Amino acid sequence: MKTETSELKIKASAKYINMSPHKIRRVTDRIRGRSYEQALMVLEFMPYHACNRMLQLLCSAAANASHNFGLSKNDSFVSQIQVDEGTSLKRFQPRAQGRAYPIRKPTCHVTIMMEITTK
């Protein structure tokens, strides 16, 4: 017997987050493949600053699912998370004897894809 299932993909993205991609990936690796509720629990109790930004993005993807498609966000799970490096802000720090020391402030772009399996 063949049951028909259709998978809807919901996308949300955040660009130019003022944080290193390495720090964001440390958090995203923990929630990839989890359900929406499990991902919320993990993000709320992790001690990293990146969790706040990822929590906002996850809630945005869930809001897209309920607003655009009229679906329950509790039936969804995180299928893909992509963290890309953005542009770096270039700044200078004054150092000894009038020298300037370059500082790079990295940014990143995060895209989250959630899937909802409907029967």
What predicted TM-score, i.e. pTM, was given to this entire model? 0.83
The pLDDT tens digits for 2-40 are 555 557 888 999 999 999 999 999 999 999 999 999 999
Strand partners, 100: 94
All structural domains of the chain with their residue ranges = 6-118
CB 11 within 8 A of CB 111: yes
CATH fold of 6-118 reads: Ribosomal Protein L22; Chain A (3.90.470)
16-19, long-range: CB < 8 A, 24+ apart: 16/86, 16/87, 16/107, 16/109, 17/53, 17/86, 17/107, 17/108, 17/109, 17/110, 18/105, 18/107, 19/49, 19/50, 19/53, 19/106, 19/107, 19/108
Residue 46, class by beta-carbon neighbours within 10 Å (0-12 exposed, 13-18 middle, 19+ buried)?
A: middle
The pLDDT tens digits for 50-98 are 999 999 999 999 998 888 878 777 788 899 999 999 999 999 999 999 9
